[in-house]
Every structure is written in C-alpha cells, then in structure tokens.
Amino acid sequence: MLSKTDKEQLRGIIFRHLDGIATATTAYSLYKKGVLDFLLNNKLVSLEKLTQNFKTNEGYLNVALRILCSQGWLIQHLDNKTNTISYETNDSSKSAFELASLYEDVVKLLNYSVKFPEERIGADAFIVLERIFKKYESQFGLKNTQNDSVEHQILKHIEGCIVGPIIVLLGVNGLFQKYFMEASFTAEEYHKDPESFKKILDFFAHLGWFVKKKNTYQFSDEGLFFAKRASAYGVTVSYLPTFVKLDELIFGNPLILKTNDPAETEKHVHREMNVWGSGGAHSTYFKVIDQVIIELFNKPIDEQPKGILDMGCGNGAFIQHIFDVIEHQTLRGKYLDEHPLLLVGADFNKAALKVTRANLIKADIWAKVIWGDIGRPDLLAKDLKEDYNIELQDLLNVRTFLDHNRIWEKPTHITERTSTSSGAYVYQGARLNNNLVEDSLLEHLKKWKPYVEKFGLLVIELHTINPKLTAQNLGITAATAYDATHGYSDQYILEVDVFHKIAMEAELIPDGKYFTKFPDSNLATVSINLLKG
C-alpha cells in the first residue's frame, strides 16, 4: 500500500516525465543547430541576436528558450516596457547543455511514437526501443542521478519520452484495464508479437512497475499508480505531431502544421487522444462548475437562464454533464416539460460538431449544434436568432480551456500598458509583444460582454506561471509541458492574476464565491471563474 508521501513522489515523476517530452525535443533541436553552444560561449544574448545569427522564427525560438528557463538551465530577462528579451546562462547551463546529445535516441523514437495511435508499436519501433532500453539500464552513462542533479533531471526526461507514448497507447486501448482484472498475465495474452512486447514489460519491471516471475507479470503498487493515471500523459503526448516538427517550426517553415479549413484534420495535435487525456482532470473541475449550475437553476424560473451555450463543445461531454446536473439536482429539472432547457453546442471544428451531434443523440439529449467562432460572438448571436429564435444573452455562456485557443487578432486599439506577463507568445512564427497579447484579450472579452451581462460567463481556463517559479518547483507542476504545447501551437495562456486584471478591465468581474484555482497556490495553472458584467 502506497503512503501519501509515496504518492506525492510518484506524482512528481509524472510531472518530470511530461517535462521530458517538452524539454528533450526542444533542447535537442537547439543543440543540433549550435544554439546551446552559442549561449555557453556568450553567456548573455538577446533574443534578437540569436534570431539573426541562426535565422530562426523568433516566436518559436523564444518559446524554446523559455522552456529551458523553466527547467532551471537558463535565466530569462524580459522587459515588457521596451519589448526586449535576453537569455543568460547559469550554474546548470554547462552540465545540461553538454548532456543534450543524450536526447538523440529518444527524440528519434518519438518519430515512431507519434504514429502509435494508427500503427501501434511496429517492428521498427521495437528495434529502436530495445536499443534505448539497454542504454537506460546503464543510465546512459550518467554518474550522478541524485534527485537534485541535472543528470537525474535528464534521465527522467529520457524516461518520459520512452514511457509516455506507450502508457497512453495502452491506456487508450483499454489494455491497462484488462491487466487490472488479472492477478498475473503473460505477454502472449496481450500482443501478437509477444517476444517484442515482453521487452517493454521487462523495461517496466526494471522501473519497478511490474513484478516478473518467470514469464508472468503482475502490477506492483507503483505500477498500478502510473497505470491508473495514464490519462495524465494524454494531453502532452497528443502534441507529439508538434514536438517532432520543432526543427521546422523553429528554424524552417513556421506554417508547416497550419490548416486553413475547419473541416480539415488538425496537424499539430492528435485531437481524440487530447480529449481522452483531458477527461480525467475535467471531472475535478466539473465539481466546482456544478455548484454554479445548481445555484443558477435553483432560482425562481423567471430568474433562470433559458439554457446553456457550450462554446467549443468538443465531443459534447460537457453538455451531457450539465444537462444531467440540471435534470437531477435542480428545481429546473422538475419543470423541463413546462420550461424546456435550451442547449447549444458550438465549435469551430466541423468534425467536432459531428461527434457532438452523434453523442447527444445517443444520450437522448435535445440540443442545437452549430458552427461558431469564439472570436465572433456577434455572428454566433445572429445565427442563433435567425435560425432558432434564441437570444444568446438569455443563455449561460460556458467554456472549458478555450479563450486561450482563439485565433490571434491584433488589437484595434493599442494601449500604453506594460504587461506583467512572463509568457512567450507566437503567431505563425512571429513573436508577439506581451503588451499586445493583453490588449487582444481585453478586446476579446469586451466582445462577449453584451452577451454575458445577464447571467455571466463561466470559464475554466489554463494559465502559465513564471519560468523561474517553475524551475524552483520541478516535479510539482506541469507548467513546462503546458507552456510547450501551447506556445508551439500559437495559444495564449496568461498568468491567473493577469487574466483577472484584464477581465476586470473589460468590466467582467470574477465572482469571488466561485473563483477556484488548481493548485490553490502561486503554482496555479488552471482557474475557474464566473465572470459577471
């Protein structure tokens, strides 16, 4: 039985594994091009000089260097007043950068791993894995693997690149659940190539996740801990299509992963895996959301919203959850025949709309499912009125992890603000001024204000934290992975306090009764807010 301390330590390994997927790909790309050596030789270099010297896409280079700051290997000097950035080496830089070549094998492995959702683990991947397993068992030649050493940090990064995609593959396909049902099992029971699969199981046994007896395997308590949390790896692993293209994004064509048609399959992320990976965490956030929903729909009928708009409905799971809460836990649920609930799911991705429709029909839930752009609430309001005679402002507007994923729009009114954000923001390879990012969010929220003044805007949002703070808390936060996945894909996650500041400028005031952040500390990377006009 694992103690609370044991679980905290194992959770820390998961965070370091996620760090590894982001950091290994980033550091190795910079190492190959000579950027790391250049930093070591010059000690303090402006981002502008690095961009000119290596002919990079400045925005993605800035994301990459900030990731290394989050791992404690560089120091970021950001002056939002003058819009200048420089990076400085520190006591860890030399040892970390000189070991960056050790990432080579696992970064190459990720080019196979990115295909696991469609092709599973093929013969070529097994050959590469076997070679890496042998190197890992000798700790890649690393001597000092104490928890506070750079060598330990890199070893865990390498480990994350190996196990992350595998654990997600096994989790998505339900194999872990099958294992749970077995006291012990053999490789022959679960794979058509048992000799190759046995090598993976042996590696997991080497990590202490399985107990091996002759040819049978059984989960250890540690192994069960990781297996039950396979979805924790899902979101980061879902961005492997982006991580394997970093050479191109940073040093080549910044548009290589862009799509123009909303109906086209996304190139930068495996969306189905992303939804699966985020599902486990969402259940925690939904508990807070439920409190708001229950209070609103327990009011007298004439004071309640006529329904719900879920902007960015994804696969429809959030709509289903909200409907279930209203039907079974509120006053409104008793009067749905007399006062039907208007449910609207909107999404920019046309494939997501098809999935939502199918899932809601299967769940026997009536809803309007329409195309919508989070950046154009006016168009959404017009379509709802003209096509369904629904007033957008009569609905409670909700969304989960969406505002930061809007398409970039340069603000029409540029203020003289000096941003307080430490973030690295990009649009199509170009670095964005942090002051403009705040102005853009302000204009975005102002667009929504007329439509949410009546019942509020209920949002779950993702955030960044200062990279210095991340570096001081390795193994306690997933901020490095979040910054990488969102920075490299042109998404705009701001710190919690910055988000609140801009919301209040837009005259959308966070209701303190419902404001919640995860974790409840200065490391918060997720917040829940009911913004009221």
What is the domain-level CATH number for residue 361? 3.40.50.150
Alpha helices in 256-412 (DSSP H): 271-296, 317-329, 350-362, 377-388
Contact (Cβ atoms closer than 8 angstroms) between residue 483 and residue 66: yes
Tokens 């404690």 belong to residue: 72
Number of H helices, E strands in the chain: 23, 16
User: What is the pLDDT at residue 272?
Assistant: 86
User: What is the pLDDT at residue 424?
Assistant: 98
In whole angstroms, what is the distance from residue 3 CA to residue 36 CA? 41
- Tell me, yes or no, whether 325 lies in a domain: yes
- The number of folded domains in the chain is 1
- Tell me, yes or no, whether 309 lies in a domain: yes
Tokens 């905290």 belong to residue: 8
- Tell me, yes or no, whether 291 lies in a domain: yes
- Tell me, yes or no, whether 368 lies in a domain: yes
Using H for helix, E for strand and C for coil, what is the string for 38-77? Answer: HHHHHCEEEHHHHHHHHCCCHHHHHHHHHHHHHCCCEEEE
In whole angstroms, what is the distance from residue 490 CA to residue 437 CA? 12
> Which range marks the domain in which residue 286 is found?
278-408+441-465+492-532
In whole angstroms, what is the distance from residue 155 CA to residue 178 CA? 30
- Tell me, yes or no, whether 112 lies in a domain: no
- Tell me, yes or no, whether 331 lies in a domain: yes
Measured in degrees and rounded to the nearest 5, phi and psi for residue 76 equal -90, 130
The separation between CA 45 and the C-alpha centre of its own chain, rounded to angstroms, equals 30
* Closest by CA position to 318, among listed 236, 202, 409, 398: 398
User: What is the pLDDT at residue 179?
Assistant: 67
- Tell me, yes or no, whether 326 lies in a domain: yes
Structure tokens at 44: 């303090």
User: What is the pLDDT at residue 472?
Assistant: 97
- Tell me, yes or no, whether 145 lies in a domain: no
> How confident is the prediction along the chain (533 residues), in pLDDT tens digits per residue?
899 999 999 999 999 999 999 999 999 999 999 999 999 999 999 999 999 999 999 999 999 999 999 999 999 999 999 999 999 999 999 999 999 999 999 999 999 999 998 888 888 898 999 999 999 988 888 877 777 899 999 999 999 999 999 999 998 887 777 766 677 888 888 778 888 889 999 999 999 999 999 889 999 999 999 999 999 999 999 999 999 999 999 999 999 999 877 667 889 999 889 888 887 777 788 888 999 999 999 999 999 999 999 999 988 989 999 999 999 999 999 999 999 999 999 998 888 899 899 999 999 999 999 999 999 999 999 999 999 999 999 999 999 999 999 999 999 999 999 999 999 999 999 999 999 999 999 999 999 999 999 999 999 999 999 999 999 999 999 999 999 999 999 999 999 999 999 999 999 999 999 999 999 999 999 999 999 98
* Closest by CA position to 503, among listed 529, 523, 477, 484: 529
Q: 501: part of which helix (H) or strand (E)? A: helix 496-505
Contact (Cβ atoms closer than 8 angstroms) between residue 343 and residue 307: yes
User: What is the pLDDT at residue 88?
Assistant: 98
